Chains A and B, each alone.
Chain A
Amino acid sequence: MADAPEKEHPVEAYGYAARDSSGHLSPFKFSRRATGEKDVAFNITHCGICHSDLHFIKNEWGIAAYPVVPGHELVGIVTEVGSKVTKYKVGDRVGVGCLVGSCRSCTNCADDLENYCPGLILTYGSKNVDGTRTYGGYSNFMVCDEHFVVRIPDSMPSDGAAPLLCAGVTVYSPLRYYGLDKPGMHLGVVGLGGLGHMAVKFGKAMGLKVTVISTSPGKKSEAMERLGADAFLVSHDPEQMQGAVGTLDGIIDTVSAAHSLLPLVRLAKTNGKVILVGVPEKPFELHSFGIIMGRKMVGGSSIGGLKETQEMINFAAEHNITADIEVIPVDYVNTAMDRLQKADVKYRFVIDIANTLKP
């Protein structure tokens, strides 16, 4: 019979968990493994709230096993390293994103594509190698294999860095893989939330012209004046959308709500690319004519590998990019989830774990 979460492992831990598909989070005692020879243990100072956390705690993907401690945008300070750890030492500022393990032997892992490993272990909601459940970053500390830990550069604040670990790499990776990173290219960003605002910042840092495409006209001044987008299209305004047909080299679609693909395909130039990083539940309708005429493509992308995550963090540090956040105490987390559901945040909540999560 499985041990109670508190007794599963030798080291006591505490955090907030959802216990059923209401998604309501409340204090939760559990435990973590002792620091193994390749492990890095760190006190979590901050954890970003990703929209995936919300999908997961409400069991929208049908895979939740309760209790769930979400959180896969963690930053903290190293307290202990295993005997075989070479990259980190006590006192270092580090982060962990969406993965805490992979098989380390398949071709994907060998190609630094741990995010596509069939045996990947997610930071929360997965089964560890020892069969126990993984618990995420809405908690006081973390123990993680060195390979899945990244360094947070000194110049980067912990709170603004945390969302990079999922939102950042999720848009950075496809910009690189699909070649939408050449200065002068014109990038469309659909949806201005956690992912979207990061895509605008990375796009501008790469020298792209960036157009934000959104259902909310009220986001225009934010997009252009604060985030630096070059243009803004209201997606349900047929005249604006018609005027932009065939103008974009690439489009990053971050929207998870149901929406149409064809209008986005039409915005793409010949050879243009529509990249999906949001995951609406219902399938799109693919109009073959839309992609055949103009040789356009629709591709997907899922988070990023570890090497790429570190590369992205370093790029962000170099270009002074951090996420736009609202820092909250942990006991605000349920209200934050309600607001997140309504997209009422600019643009990521980050839990101030260090100062507000108490045993």
Chain B
Amino acid sequence: MATNYEDQHPNKAFGWAAHDSSGLLSPFPFSRRENGVDDVAVKILFCGVCHSDLHALKNEWGVTRYPLIPGHEVVGLVTKVGANVEKFKAGDRVGVGVIVGSCMKCEACNQDLENYCDKLIFTYNSVDWDGTNAFGGYSDSIVVHQRYVLRFPDNLPADKGAPLLCAGITVYSPMKYYGMTEPGKHLGVAGLGGLGHVAVKIGKAFGLKVTVISSSPGKEADAIDCLGADAFLPTSDPAKVQAAMGSIDYIIDTISAVHSLPLLLSLLKLNGKLVAVGLPNKPLDLPIFPLVLKRRLIGGSDFGGIKETEEMLEFCAKHGIAADVEVIKMDEINTALERLAKSDVKYRFVIDVANSVSPK
């Protein structure tokens, strides 16, 4: 018998969901659980549209459970807190990011690295604590265990700040972990989309020289004039690539399409580091000589822990960093997703949930 999502939980909720791998979203009445003693209930104000949402909607990774309400870049207002919650009170502005649960007792969780726990509950497309589907932020409300709710700084705008909850932490975390923050060093940002544009801003805030590396020469003006990058390297220009070889200390590779790792590796100095945060859906060729002969490394990184995400939000608030966004209404989401598939956005769509998501 099909699940009745409206009656599953005691509190009515409303969102937009996809029901199959066409990924097309449509209005979807459902319900949220009542607050447990550790829970925080949030009225959602804004939700960023992450490229991962699109991958999940179309079941590109083969793991999607429909109906799917995506959205893991949520900013909202606390409406109610459970009896054990001390960190938040009603009226607080908070964020919810990529996860709403973890095991809380493994080595990773104990080191504030919940993102590397083996038993994660993702904000959407997971099985929640109570065995029901986790529904994400393209909805009017969400209920989250307090550990996974993030303080949202007062001086960070809710709409432009929402994408930091995934895009921001996804580039900030590896920059800290792999030691890519020494002022004066040279950072390359490969790919100029949601992740890439935030990486440029954060890189500049760390005092790095930043070069955007892109296959789209048309992005140069934006990269330099709007985002503050110091230089732009078009990968389609072999002479410029040649001239830039061995000149970069670190590269954040945000590119999700299949692309050339040897080209990027050749740009790195001795001991250079390339961090992969994009998720191409096919393996990439990794020739070994470029790694061995110049002792370079390629490392991965997967969003960030909760404490680290709050640290990142504070850092961004302090340095006036927020995403460049195009705010949309919920009923524009399918068009937005089509445009996102063509990278036609500067650089994140953000859904104005409070003003456009409600049962009519």
The chain A residues found within 8 Å of chain B, CB to CB, are 108, 113, 116, 177, 261, 270-271, 273, 276-280, 283-302
B74 to chain A minimum Cβ distance, whole angstroms, is 22
Closest 3 CB pairs of A and B: A300-B291, A291-B300, A297-B299
With contacts A108-B270, A279-B292, A291-B276 known, is A299 near B297, CB below 8 A?
A: yes
Query: Per a CB cutoff under 8 Å, which of A290, A292, A302 touches B295?
Result: A302
Whether B359 is near chain A, meaning CB under 8 Å from some CB there, is no
Report Cα–Cα, A287/B258, bound state, in Å. Answer: 11
Report Cα–Cα, A296/B298, bound state, in Å. Answer: 9
Within B290-318, the residues touching A (CB, 8 Å) are 290-302
The answer to whether A284 touches B297, judged by C-beta atoms less than 8 angstroms apart, is no
Query: Per a CB cutoff under 8 Å, which of A261, A288, A301 touches B279?
Result: A288
| Interface pairs (21), CB distance under 8 Å | A261-B286, A276-B292, A278-B288, A279-B292, A283-B286, A285-B286, A286-B276, A286-B286, A287-B283, A288-B280, A290-B300, A291-B276, A291-B300, A292-B301, A293-B302, A297-B300, A299-B296, A300-B293, A300-B294, A300-B297, A301-B292
Whether B113 is near chain A, meaning CB under 8 Å from some CB there, is yes
The answer to whether A298 touches B298, judged by C-beta atoms less than 8 angstroms apart, is yes
Nearest neighbor of B280 in chain A, beta-carbon distance = A288
Report Cα–Cα, A284/B298, bound state, in Å. Answer: 13
Whether B104 is near chain A, meaning CB under 8 Å from some CB there, is no
Nearest neighbor of A294 in chain B, beta-carbon distance = B116
Whether B261 is near chain A, meaning CB under 8 Å from some CB there, is yes
Residues of B within 8 Å of A288, CB to CB, are 276, 278-280, 283-284, 300
Whether B277 is near chain A, meaning CB under 8 Å from some CB there, is yes
Nearest neighbor of B303 in chain A, beta-carbon distance = A292
Residues of B within 8 Å of A293, CB to CB, are 116, 300, 302
Given contacts A116-B295, A273-B297, 17 further A-B contacts (CB under 8 A): A270-B107, A277-B292, A283-B262, A283-B285, A286-B276, A286-B283, A287-B283, A288-B280, A290-B300, A291-B276, A293-B116, A298-B291, A298-B297, A298-B299, A299-B296, A300-B293, A302-B292
Nearest neighbor of B115 in chain A, beta-carbon distance = A295
Query: Per a CB cutoff under 8 Å, which of B280, B283, B295 touches A177?
Result: B295
Nearest neighbor of A178 in chain B, beta-carbon distance = B297
Whether B179 is near chain A, meaning CB under 8 Å from some CB there, is no
Query: Per a CB cutoff under 8 Å, which of A108, A261, A296 touches B300?
Result: A296
Residues of B within 8 Å of A296, CB to CB, are 299-300
A296 to chain B minimum Cβ distance, whole angstroms, is 6
Nearest neighbor of B301 in chain A, beta-carbon distance = A295
Report Cα–Cα, A177/B271, bound state, in Å. Answer: 10
The answer to whether B276 touches A292, judged by C-beta atoms less than 8 angstroms apart, is yes
Within B262-278, the residues touching A (CB, 8 Å) are 262, 270, 276-278
The answer to whether B295 touches A286, judged by C-beta atoms less than 8 angstroms apart, is no
Residues of A within 8 Å of B290, CB to CB, are 300
Between A113, A273, A276, A297, the greatest number of chain B beta carbons within 10 A of the residue's beta carbon is seen for: A297
Whether B287 is near chain A, meaning CB under 8 Å from some CB there, is yes
With contacts A116-B270, A270-B116, A287-B283 known, is A292 near B300, CB below 8 A?
A: yes
B230 to chain A minimum Cβ distance, whole angstroms, is 22
The chain B residues found within 8 Å of chain A, CB to CB, are 107-108, 113, 116, 174, 177, 261-262, 270, 276-280, 283-302
Report Cα–Cα, A284/B109, bound state, in Å. Answer: 32
The answer to whether A284 touches B288, judged by C-beta atoms less than 8 angstroms apart, is yes
Report Cα–Cα, A283/B291, bound state, in Å. Answer: 11
Nearest neighbor of B261 in chain A, beta-carbon distance = A286
A166 to chain B minimum Cβ distance, whole angstroms, is 14
Residues of B within 8 Å of A291, CB to CB, are 276, 298-300
Report Cα–Cα, A300/B278, bound state, in Å. Answer: 21
Residues of B within 8 Å of A297, CB to CB, are 297-300
The answer to whether B279 touches A289, judged by C-beta atoms less than 8 angstroms apart, is yes
Residues of A within 8 Å of B288, CB to CB, are 276, 278-280, 283-284, 300
Residues of B within 8 Å of A279, CB to CB, are 288-289, 292
Report Cα–Cα, A224/B186, bound state, in Å. Answer: 46
Report Cα–Cα, A309/B107, bound state, in Å. Answer: 37
Residues of B within 8 Å of A270, CB to CB, are 107-108, 113, 116
A8 to chain B minimum Cβ distance, whole angstroms, is 29
The answer to whether B295 touches A299, judged by C-beta atoms less than 8 angstroms apart, is yes
Report Cα–Cα, A279/B174, bound state, in Å. Answer: 27
Nearest neighbor of A296 in chain B, beta-carbon distance = B300
Nearest neighbor of A281 in chain B, beta-carbon distance = B288
Report Cα–Cα, A290/B276, bound state, in Å. Answer: 11
Residues of B within 8 Å of A294, CB to CB, are 116, 300, 302
The answer to whether A295 touches B285, judged by C-beta atoms less than 8 angstroms apart, is no
The answer to whether B293 touches A302, judged by C-beta atoms less than 8 angstroms apart, is yes
Residues of A within 8 Å of B291, CB to CB, are 276, 298-300
B296 to chain A minimum Cβ distance, whole angstroms, is 6
Residues of A within 8 Å of B174, CB to CB, are 295
Nearest neighbor of A118 in chain B, beta-carbon distance = B246
A56 to chain B minimum Cβ distance, whole angstroms, is 15
The answer to whether B294 touches A284, judged by C-beta atoms less than 8 angstroms apart, is no
Report Cα–Cα, A261/B287, bound state, in Å. Answer: 11
B277 to chain A minimum Cβ distance, whole angstroms, is 7
The answer to whether B286 touches A284, judged by C-beta atoms less than 8 angstroms apart, is yes
Between B262, B286, B293, B295, the greatest number of chain A beta carbons within 10 A of the residue's beta carbon is seen for: B295
Report Cα–Cα, A293/B117, bound state, in Å. Answer: 10
Residues of A within 8 Å of B276, CB to CB, are 286, 288, 291-292
Residues of B within 8 Å of A273, CB to CB, are 297
Residues of A within 8 Å of B283, CB to CB, are 285-288
Residues of B within 8 Å of A280, CB to CB, are 288
Query: Per a CB cutoff under 8 Å, which of A277, A283, A292 touches B277?
Result: A292
B253 to chain A minimum Cβ distance, whole angstroms, is 9
Report Cα–Cα, A284/B286, bound state, in Å. Answer: 5
Residues of B within 8 Å of A292, CB to CB, are 276-277, 279, 300-302
Report Cα–Cα, A354/B25, bound state, in Å. Answer: 80
Report Cα–Cα, A74/B78, bound state, in Å. Answer: 72
Residues of A within 8 Å of B296, CB to CB, are 299-300
The answer to whether B286 touches A300, judged by C-beta atoms less than 8 angstroms apart, is no
Residues of B within 8 Å of A289, CB to CB, are 279
Report Cα–Cα, A286/B290, bound state, in Å. Answer: 14
Report Cα–Cα, A301/B289, bound state, in Å. Answer: 9
Residues of A within 8 Å of B297, CB to CB, are 273, 297-300
Report Cα–Cα, A296/B177, bound state, in Å. Answer: 11
Nearest neighbor of A299 in chain B, beta-carbon distance = B297
